């Protein structure tokens, strides 16, 4: 099975496995709206099916919704 992280989280949740809140955003505006809904610090992650996205700059911490938009 080859899944994106958000797809795996959906499967876990559907089977009763606890997962942290999250959202999928297709653009910076959606990332900002998701961060506003989640609240607090958020992690903006590129959804790719390859390893090493953190080392490649695909995982970024955002302190607030505006920063989430900037990092998306």
Tell me: the pLDDT tens digits for 35-51? 999 999 999 998 877 77
8 part of a folded domain: no
12 in any annotated domain:
no
> How many domains does the chain fold into?
1
In a domain, 6, yes or no: no
Kindly state whether residue 58 falls inside one of the protein's structural domains.
Answer: yes
For residue 53, the enclosing domain spans 26-72
Average model confidence (pLDDT) across the chain: 92
Q: Which residue has the tokens 């080859």?
A: 2
Whether 11 is in a domain gets the answer no
CATH number for the domain spanning 38: value is 3.30.1490.20
Q: How far is CA 7 from CA 3, 13, 49, 64, in A?
A: 6, 10, 11, 25
Residue 52 CA to residue 55 CA, distance in Å, equals 5
Sign of CA dihedral 27, 31, 32, 36: positive
In-domain check, residue 45: yes
User: What is the pTM (predicted TM-score) of this model?
Assistant: 0.82
Q: Specify the pLDDT at position 48.
A: 79
């Amino acid at each position: 099975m080859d899944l994106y992280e958000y797809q795996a989280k959906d499967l876990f949740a559907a089977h009763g496995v606890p997962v942290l809140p999250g959202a999928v955003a297709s653009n910076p505006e959606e990332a900002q709206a998701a961060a506003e809904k989640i609240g607090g610090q958020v992690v903006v992650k590129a959804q790719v099916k390859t390893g090493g996205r953190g080392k490649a700059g695909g995982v970024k911490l955002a302190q607030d919704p505006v920063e989430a938009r900037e990092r998306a």
